[in-house]
A and B are shown apart, each in its own frame.
Chain A
């Protein structure tokens, strides 16, 4: 099985970090994977995206043109990539920042008010982790039991408070996914 994931948003929203978390999860599970950031004159507040492929087979092209899973963290990302998603694919949206609904009817759409939840529930600055919690639960791209090991790859053990903080944000995302 191969999952082509495209994560898109503004620079500073944690687009690359979100992709990195999935990549580490896949690494821990012994899967084949690739992680490719858009790079260029991007800056905080500019657009940014990241292709992640997780597969049981060796990964060919690391570029995701037709995602099975699109994670849209803002309106421009949804506008740009909505049509690229494969029929039957999944779109996860931070619905606090995207002021429209998905037009397509042949995809599964998950509206997660991640940014609003992050301020209301004390997860300032990590709305991406709430959204990722929903994605992991909904897509099964990595197993739930892999989460702590993946977290220890991206958050240093010396910062235990951040470790728990992020784990709880992921759990909240899983919880709110309908």
Chain B
């Protein structure tokens, strides 16, 4: 690891992608993630990489499909409305079993929405976004350091499982600066015998395709893909627990919401309330087993989110509704304050007595 530098979250993603060996970026500008594209535009030509601003999001995502098919490490980035436009491509990528990193620095929605931070694309990200039976890996950083780390891990996981990986951040995470240590080595590239690299007439040509007009074949593809997803769910779950060991009330949140929740948990502890925090880092696969285990000791849960109640559904599913789960949220570009979260913790704790 090198010396700590100060960077915006968006810049850290771009620099980490380059450190990870990504040399192909295709995108289209949109607030609040444009720094990623700007950074790539400056750096890629100097290191022999490709930066290409496409004429639209749809075009950019199809360029990603092309590059991923050729076996290179490739990424795109956008914010909520732009991700909706790219969702067709995400479904095709999943259907073709192609690895790529897709960054979503979320802003308020629906529609054109606003440009302030939001987490309202949770359902879209964790349920796939596009059509068909599929999942993406979804990673949720809560610091600039994690923006960098998870970018690098995202490429590696995408290649290991041949599936698209989404880094799900928000406007605050993208715009804030924190100290970050960038790694000095790239993860090893997975073997890609399936890639369209030219046969040199030495082997049978590869085909990358998501179309099958034979139902039993298409069903088999889906079943095979879900067998791979089961392996991801078994092996790749990531989460963080904070003061949960003796907690009566557990706040669940990811990204910026977890940062706010951490302050509230500290404030609650100072008041003598046994509060803790559970932070999913992988939103898909969701850390179901760990959260369900926590529900054996913790008696109430609070979902803190910048959306109208999306994460809360996964919390309820994970703990099989065995404990009360309440919602503490803001939306439209607003962020809950630590005081608001503390009030929710106090309310939940009061009901336990």
Spell out A's residues near B (CB within 8 Å). Answer: 20, 23-24, 27, 32-37, 39-41, 59-63, 65, 153
**Contact between chains at B259 and A23 (CB < 8 Å):** no
- Which residue from B6, B32, B337 sits with its C-beta under 8 Å from A23? B6
- Which residue from B31, B176, B179, B337 sits with its C-beta under 8 Å from A62? B176
**Contact between chains at B176 and A33 (CB < 8 Å):** no
Spell out B's residues near A (CB within 8 Å). Answer: 4, 6, 31-32, 115-116, 171-172, 175-179, 256, 259-260, 262-263, 266, 335, 337-339
**Contact between chains at B175 and A36 (CB < 8 Å):** yes
**Contact between chains at A39 and B263 (CB < 8 Å):** no
Bound complex: CA of A37 vs CA of B172, how far in Å? Answer: 9
**Contact between chains at B259 and A60 (CB < 8 Å):** yes
**Contact between chains at B115 and A40 (CB < 8 Å):** yes
Across-interface contacts of B266 in A (CB, < 8 A) = 60
**Could you jot down 28 A-B contacts, CB within 8 Å?**
A23-B6, A23-B177, A32-B179, A33-B178, A34-B176, A34-B177, A34-B178, A35-B176, A36-B172, A36-B176, A37-B175, A40-B115, A41-B115, A60-B259, A60-B260, A60-B262, A60-B263, A61-B260, A61-B262, A61-B263, A61-B338, A62-B176, A62-B178, A62-B256, A62-B259, A63-B172, A63-B337, A65-B339
Across-interface contacts of A20 in B (CB, < 8 A) = 6, 177
Closest residue of chain A to B114 (Cβ to Cβ) is A40
Across-interface contacts of A60 in B (CB, < 8 A) = 259-260, 262-263, 266, 338
Bound complex: CA of A138 vs CA of B338, how far in Å? Answer: 28
Bound complex: CA of A24 vs CA of B177, how far in Å? Answer: 10
Select the residue from A35, A39, A40, A59 with max chain B CB neighbours within 10 A. A39
Contacts A40-B116, A61-B259 hold; do A27 and B6 have CB atoms under 8 A apart? yes
Chain A interface, >50% SS class = mixed
Across-interface contacts of B32 in A (CB, < 8 A) = 39
Bound complex: CA of A153 vs CA of B177, how far in Å? Answer: 14
**Contact between chains at A62 and B172 (CB < 8 Å):** yes
A38 to chain B, nearest CB (A): 9
Query: With contacts A27-B6, A41-B115, A60-B263 known, what are 8 further pairs, Cβ within 8 A?
Result: A24-B6, A35-B176, A35-B177, A61-B262, A62-B172, A62-B256, A63-B335, A65-B339
- Which residue from A27, A41, A61, A65 sits with its C-beta under 8 Å from B4? A27
Bound complex: CA of A60 vs CA of B171, how far in Å? Answer: 16
Closest residue of chain A to B116 (Cβ to Cβ) is A40
Across-interface contacts of B176 in A (CB, < 8 A) = 34-37, 62
Across-interface contacts of B179 in A (CB, < 8 A) = 27, 32-33
Closest residue of chain A to B115 (Cβ to Cβ) is A40
Across-interface contacts of B6 in A (CB, < 8 A) = 20, 23-24, 27, 35, 153
B324 to chain A, nearest CB (A): 25
Across-interface contacts of A32 in B (CB, < 8 A) = 179
Across-interface contacts of A41 in B (CB, < 8 A) = 115
Which are the 4 A-B pairs with shortest beta-carbon distances? A60-B263, A35-B177, A60-B262, A61-B260
Select the residue from A20, A39, A61 with max chain B CB neighbours within 10 A. A61
Bound complex: CA of A60 vs CA of B335, how far in Å? Answer: 14
Bound complex: CA of A153 vs CA of B260, how far in Å? Answer: 30
Bound complex: CA of A174 vs CA of B256, how far in Å? Answer: 36
Across-interface contacts of B256 in A (CB, < 8 A) = 61-62
Bound complex: CA of A41 vs CA of B256, how far in Å? Answer: 22
Across-interface contacts of B115 in A (CB, < 8 A) = 39-41
Closest residue of chain A to B265 (Cβ to Cβ) is A60
Across-interface contacts of A34 in B (CB, < 8 A) = 176-178
